[in-house]
Chain A
Amino acid sequence: MLIKRPSDIKSSEITDEAIYLRRREFMQATAGLALMPLFGAAVAKTSALAELKFKKNSKLSSSETLTDYNSITTYNNFYEFGTDKSSPAKHAHRLTTSPWSIVVDGHAKKTGKFDLEDILKPHSLEERIYRLRCVERWSMVVPWVGFSLADLIKRFQPTSKAKYVAFETLHRPEEMTGQKRSVLEWPYVEGLRMDEAMNPLTILAVGLYGKTMPNQNGAPIRLVVPWKYGFKSIKSIARISFVEKEPPTSWNISIPSEYGFYSNVNPEVDHPRWSQKKERRIGEFLRRDTLMFNGYAEQVAHLYKGMDLKKYY
């Protein structure tokens, strides 16, 4: 008999539903692998990533369709590994992410150099599905795994002088080969005003799609600020400083007329060279409208009350 009745099919022959649902992804990945030796297609070189334990935070998560894992991990801006979107996926595997330590300094009661394990220990992880809007007019929906930055900040007890939080990426040109060219000033630096840093939406992410962060996405720990353009969400953080004055930020140092300290997603304020009214969601053909604060106005608009967002772009 050619057509088996359901009872004839052994359970071992049935494809796991999760795999079945992702069959397209699987087929694309396989096709990519088959072509890789010929064309050097962008397929992420990643060592096996560990599964993370986390809770879902549906209250702060978007319910939109997730961008597929392959796009999230092969289309990256991480200039430390080269300026092509496909460069980080090809070169970021060189970065040693363990051991990893973070220096915490500035106006806080507790400061020092801490192992990543000690930084992470007290925090329980949760999944936050956020929109990510790049200043280059493309966007994704990413299931990050991380924890609230506010919870971390509280542990170090910043003093009243700490008006801003500054972040710094690792500077290690022998592994971050993009740092051998001075496309930007290295190390990459970013910063947030204290109230932005303390906002419940702001997280430090250590993974995505339920697994440890791939190197090209900013392993082992990165910032995610979903209402700002992607470049504000600094990757591979090596230093967190509590400072009194607005800290310098890399893209602002590079081209101050185009990238401000705030860099909130704002369809009303154009980039000097292109419009920011629309964006292309990766995987979609037609462009969609860009939303004020990337759709997070309800949670963050109050932070900027009375501020001229054209002046503070």
Chain B
Amino acid sequence: MLLYYSLISPLSQKNLQSWVKPAVFLLCLFPVAWLIWQLLNNMLGANPIESFTRQSGEWGLRFLLITLAMTPLRRISGQAWPLRYRRMLGLFSFFYVSVHLLSYIVLDQFFDWSEIWADILKRPFITIGMTAFILLIPLAVTSNKAMMKRLGRSWQRLHRLVYIIAVCGVLHYFWLIKADLLWPTIYAAILTILFILRVKLKP
């Protein structure tokens, strides 16, 4: 089914698609451009490294949730277009999570590998964050059409990992907060709604 939607699109929509997709692509790049602009122009406050790391992580989680919203959106709207953006959005999630991880390794820890390793082993919020990142790698690698074809049925099974990744991502956020759980709770609520929609709207 997935293959069907990603390969076949009505000819009438081709023209529209030709400029919409690049526009969405650029829009998805805006947060990272904005973050780098702020970092270079001293606009991230007194602790720019902490702010950059946190904000890039938030964007990773946001894109993951937006990606997960595409299938329910397709079913609710009856339109095919949401699925055409799913891969791109998912890859952007991987991109922002990678920026987040690099920010932690380079800016925050400055390649202090022993400290990073100790963090992964001893700090549950980092353990689970790293788990989410590692699980994202096979999904990113197998996101192209050739891999979809080659893996066939198992592709879909493999990509169900995204549910686990999303839960890990939200828990990662929960466990690093000192007291104010408002935002992690909002993300958890959105994820729960997306899960419920998936179950309810099953074709």
- By a beta-carbon cutoff of 8 Å, the part of chain A in contact with chain B is 28, 31, 35, 39, 41-42, 67, 70-71, 74-75, 79, 83, 85-86, 136, 138, 181, 183-184, 251, 254-255, 270, 273-275, 277-278, 280, 282-283, 285-287
* Chain A residues positioned under 8 Å from B17 (CB to CB): none
**Pair B47/A138 contact, Cβ less than 8 Å:** yes
In the assembled complex, 9 residue pairs joining A and B whose CB atoms fall closer than 8 Å, in A order, are A35-B43, A70-B46, A270-B122, A273-B123, A273-B125, A274-B119, A277-B115, A285-B110, A287-B110
* Chain A residues positioned under 8 Å from B109 (CB to CB): 287
- Are A85 and B46 CB-contacts (below 8 A) given A275-B115, A286-B110? yes
Q: How many A-B residue pairs have CB under 8 A?
A: 61
**Pair B47/A280 contact, Cβ less than 8 Å:** yes
B178 CB–A CB distance under 8 Å: yes
- Are A85 and B118 CB-contacts (below 8 A) given A79-B179, A136-B178? no
> How far, in whole Å, are A85 and B47 apart by their CA atoms in the complex?
10
B192 CB–A CB distance under 8 Å: no
**Pair B179/A274 contact, Cβ less than 8 Å:** no
Chain B residues numbered 170-187 whose CB sits less than 8 Å from any CB in chain A:
175-176, 178-180, 182
Among residues of A, the one whose C-beta sits closest to the C-beta of B38 is A39
* Chain B residues positioned under 8 Å from A74 (CB to CB): 45-46
**Pair B179/A71 contact, Cβ less than 8 Å:** no
Among residues of B, the one whose C-beta sits closest to the C-beta of A83 is B180
Among residues of A, the one whose C-beta sits closest to the C-beta of B34 is A39
* Chain A residues positioned under 8 Å from B119 (CB to CB): 274-275
> How far, in whole Å, are A286 and B119 apart by their CA atoms in the complex?
17
Among residues of A, the one whose C-beta sits closest to the C-beta of B41 is A31
Query: Which of A83, A85, A280 is in CB contact (< 8 Å) with B45?
Result: A85
* Chain A residues positioned under 8 Å from B42 (CB to CB): 28, 31
* Chain B residues positioned under 8 Å from A70 (CB to CB): 46
* Chain A residues positioned under 8 Å from B123 (CB to CB): 273-275
* Chain B residues positioned under 8 Å from A83 (CB to CB): 179-180, 182
* Chain A residues positioned under 8 Å from B110 (CB to CB): 285-287
Among residues of B, the one whose C-beta sits closest to the C-beta of A68 is B46
Given contacts A85-B46, A86-B45, A181-B182, 15 further A-B pairs with CB under 8 A are: A42-B45, A70-B46, A74-B45, A74-B46, A75-B45, A75-B47, A79-B180, A83-B179, A85-B45, A136-B178, A181-B180, A183-B180, A270-B122, A275-B115, A285-B49
* Chain B residues positioned under 8 Å from A270 (CB to CB): 122
> How far, in whole Å, are A58 and B103 apart by their CA atoms in the complex?
39
Whole-angstrom distance between the Cβ of A69 and the nearest chain B Cβ:
11
> How far, in whole Å, are A70 and B43 apart by their CA atoms in the complex?
12
